[in-house]
């Protein structure tokens, strides 16, 4: 499924065919995804890929952009409040809180957020959240 957002492409790829059960706080979760998707588009050359994968114990959500990436030694700084990587990723508006907030929201849902450079170019932000049973 592919959608255009502000003249840019967002591609959603999912292996999830059955309902999943997860206890979320909708307002926080929306803010989490708003921050991550806006951040990806801020540095993207035009396309953002979102993948959803479910396995036995968790769901993994990856948001991948095709921007310039980050020097590996600088990645940990991205999760600190008010840290920005303008030199590596080009100029973008913002105050450096989006990824720090996203990490805290993920942690409040007992999940983990990681950031890594993609093989060719761009960045991947991955969220792993534990699933809950239907009951």
Mean pLDDT (the chain, rounded): 77
Q: What is the pLDDT of residues 46-97, one digit of tens each?
A: 788 888 888 888 889 999 998 888 888 888 877 776 565 554 444 455 556 7
Our measurement of the distance from residue 134's CA atom to the centroid of its chain's CA atoms, rounded to an integer in Å, reads 26
The pLDDT of residue 11 is: 66
Q: What is the pLDDT of residues 119-128, one digit of tens each?
A: 888 999 999 9
Burial class (CB in 10 A: 0-12, 13-18, 19+), 92: middle
Decide if 135 is inside a domain: no
Q: Report how many domains make up the chain.
A: 1
CATH number at residue 36: 3.30.565.10
Q: The pTM is what? A: 0.77
- Domain of residue 11 covers 2-130
C-alpha span between 52 and 13 (Å, rounded)? 6
């Amino acid at each position: 499924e592919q959608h255009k957002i502000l003249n840019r492409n967002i591609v959603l790829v999912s292996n999830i065919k059955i309902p999943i059960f997860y206890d979320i706080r909708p307002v926080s979760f929306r803010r989490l995804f708003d921050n991550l998707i806006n951040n990806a588009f801020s540095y993207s050359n035009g396309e953002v890929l979102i993948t959803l994968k479910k396995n036995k114990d968790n769901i993994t959500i990856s948001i991948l952009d095709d921007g310039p990436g980050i020097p590996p030694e600088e990645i940990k700084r991205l999760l600190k409040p008010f840290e920005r990587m303008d030199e590596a990723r080009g100029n973008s508006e913002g105050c450096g809180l989006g990824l720090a907030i996203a990490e805290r929201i993920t942690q409040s849902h007992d999940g983990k957020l990681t950031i890594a450079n993609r093989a060719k170019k761009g960045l991947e932000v991955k969220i792993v959240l534990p699933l809950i049973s239907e009951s």
